[in-house]
Amino acid sequence: MSKKEKYDVCIVGSGAGAGPVIYELSKAGFKVMVLEKGPWYRTGDFSKDEMVATRRSVYTPNLKDEPQVIEDLNEYNEWEAKSTYDTGRNFWNGNCVGGSTNFMSGYFSRLKPVDFKLLSTYGEIPGANIADWPISYDDLEPYYEKVERLVGISGKIVPHKFMSPRSTPDYPYPPLAENIVSSWIDEAAGKLNIQSIPQARAILSQQKDERKACYYSNFCGSYGCSSDAKGSSRVALIHDALKTGNCAVMPNAKVFYLETNGNYRIKKAWYYDLFGQKKSIEAKIFVVAAQAVETSRLLLMSRNKEFPDGLANNNGQVGKNLIFSAGGVGGGDFYYDELDAELAKELAKPGVFVNRTIQDFYELRHPKTGKKIKGGTVDFLFEHANPVSKAIREKWDNAGKLRWGTELKQHLYRYFTGIRKLKFEIFVDWLPTDNCFVSLSSKVKDKWGDPVAKIRTGNHPHDLMVGEIIADKSKQILSKMGAHNIYASISGTPPNNLQAGGCRFGNNPQKTVLNKYCQAHEVENLFVTDASFMPTGGSLTFTWTIYANSFRVADYIKTILKNNN
């Protein structure tokens, strides 16, 4: 296909929000152009190199070229904005074909029916902009099932009290191999009358078509997959879309402006190519899936006389109600010399997974009022195997004293050969507030001269309260297991890899950016299919829901294109 051709659909981005649309429309015979700001890495380009994957900006932009501005509360309770180039804080995720799905750990959980009606179930919380979704869990369930089959999810269904309803009895692929510690979690939780259940993963336990099964490398999260077992948008969906001949992918294409035709419709997507030249693509429909922060930034940058404050933003809602995933982390240490030799050997086994989650805390009682409140999820996992990162963390002792010389060497030897750390991650709702949003920086620009995203990261104290309750319960499990040095940290600092909101969907055009099909209220041929649409995020990772919703929206777009042809 020629770049001069007018396409049926132009898609900005290629991650979880874009992949299903690319796949479905290409398979249906429509001409699709994908504009991806990052390069196109193939499977053979990925290696288990810690310097590349986690210590350098290889899969994310150089902060000198593409900073962002983060606005946090300082010690005087004032909002203070700092460029990420100055602080070294990196808010980017995977910038390449397939996006951050190339580097995810693949912890996949469905939202629950209650997540679609948080406001009507639990009521208002002062200072929070909670809203029910315009769709229900039942609307999304068939697409959750579709993701299981097409993207590939491995696991085992074990009934529990907060289990999401399913149309199929189990996952299409059996569970991945587990470490012995998984059974210890089950046993300890059971003694506390808590149910530990297997965690589903978007990682193949068996070969699927051209994709090979997981080979348990011991380096998964933050790394590209060398066997294509991981369910990235690139290998699970875009590869098949390309085979149709209807899909073209343009890497190193940074979209900076969506041009309208004077009649509230987008005519062109303007982008910088690899050499910084401005070029454009024409299409009938435009889909933006650049991840929440950058999606809002693109719309805000696309100003014109119809939309003086940004595309689809005449109600002032673009960028507002940004959300992340609240919660925190914790963990504890197990000493090999306290175990018999065989158990120590099994615990030390690298590569195999923990894959345990607890959802018994998905609903809680408020510690003061006794009222039912939304709770959250706990996922157990081993400390990441990255040796450089592990060593750096251990140079300080628990009292904040610097270890060095012989003491440091002896400690590192003990840490790497005699201890295995089991961690837990807590996920609770990040409540949307007026103090968490995306705007454009008036001072900082990127290498192309465009204003960068300014991200205010205000959180609600309710998030921290819920996280602390669950952290206490999680520490009890580790204590029952016999772990040492148990700790937990609940924080209001947002994780950069779990971004949502900013283009909330809903039925009221005055209060939302998108309708229930993720179509802009004010721009008929604009759809947003990354996590920007989410009014609330649930107490889980977002990726499965992003995939599922994108498949749902793809079906709607196919209907529009078929009716207009």
pLDDT tens profile 434-464: 999 999 999 999 999 999 999 999 999 999 9
pLDDT in tens, 197-233: 999 999 999 999 999 999 999 999 999 999 999 999 9
Residue 2 lies in a domain: no
Distance (Å, whole) CA 551 – CA 81: 37
- Residue that has been written with the tokens 């080979």 in this structure: 215
Helices (H) and strands (E) in the chain, counts: 14, 21
What CATH number does residue 556 fall under? 3.50.50.60
Q: Express as a percent the part of the chain with pLDDT over 90.
A: 96
Assess if residue 45 is contained within a domain.
yes
What is the value of pTM for the model shown? Answer: 0.97
User: pLDDT tens digits for 499-531?
Assistant: 999 999 999 999 999 999 999 999 999 999 999
Number of Cβ within 10 Å of residue 465's Cβ equals 16
DSSP state of 121: H
Of 4-18, 28-42, 387-401, the range with the highest mean pLDDT is 28-42
- For residue 565, pLDDT over 80 is answered with no
Instruction: Say if 137 falls within a structural domain.
Output: yes
pLDDT at 21 over 50: yes
Please give the C-alpha separations between residue 281 and each of 4, 12, 24, 298, 363, in angstroms, as whole numbers: 7, 11, 20, 16, 47
Per-residue confidence at 5, pLDDT binned at 50, 70, 90? low
Question: How far apart (Å, rounded) are the C-alpha atoms in residues 128 and 233?
Answer: 33
Q: pLDDT-based confidence at 301, cuts 50/70/90? A: very high
For residues 316-345, average pLDDT: 97
Report the C-alpha gap between 108 and 116 in whole angstroms: 18
Residue 1 confidence (pLDDT): 43
The H-or-E segment that residue 119 falls in is helix 118-122
Q: Which of 261, 244, 257, 352 lies closest to 305 in space, CA to CA?
A: 261
E strand or H helix at 296: helix 292-301
Q: What's the CA gap between 550 and 16, in Å, rounded?
A: 8
What average pLDDT does the segment 110-127 reach? 98
- What's the number of domains the chain is made of? 1
Q: Tens digit of pLDDT for each residue in 236-283? A: 999 999 999 999 999 999 999 999 998 899 999 999 999 999 999 999
pLDDT given at position 4: 57
Residue 487 is inside which H or E element, if any? strand 484-491
Is 72 a member of any domain?
A: yes
Could you tell me the maximum CA-CA distance found in the chain, to the nearest angstrom? Answer: 75
Specify whether the CB–CB gap between 37 and 15 falls below 8 A: no
What SS3 class is residue 208?
A: strand
Asked whether residue 1 is assigned to any structural domain, the reply reads no
- For residue 508, the tally of other CB atoms under 10 A from its CB is 11
pLDDT tens track for 340-352: 999 999 999 999 9
What is the average pLDDT value for the chain, to the nearest integer?
Answer: 96
Distances, alpha carbon 208 to alpha carbons 97, 109, 145, 336, in Å: 21, 21, 16, 37
Instruction: Kindly state the tokens that stand for 131.
Output: 């809203």
> Buried b / exposed e across 234-256, counting CB within 10 Å, b at 16+?
bbbbbbbbbeeebbbbbbbbbbb
Reported as a single tens digit per residue, the pLDDT across 127-155 is 999 999 999 999 999 999 999 999 999 99
Q: How confident is the model at residue 55 (pLDDT cuts 50, 70, 90)?
A: confident
Question: What's the rounded mean pLDDT across residues 364-370?
Answer: 94
Q: What does the pLDDT average to over 91-98?
A: 95
Answer yes or no: is 39 within a domain: yes
Give me the domain span that covers residue 426: 7-564
Residue 268 in tokens? 């062109």
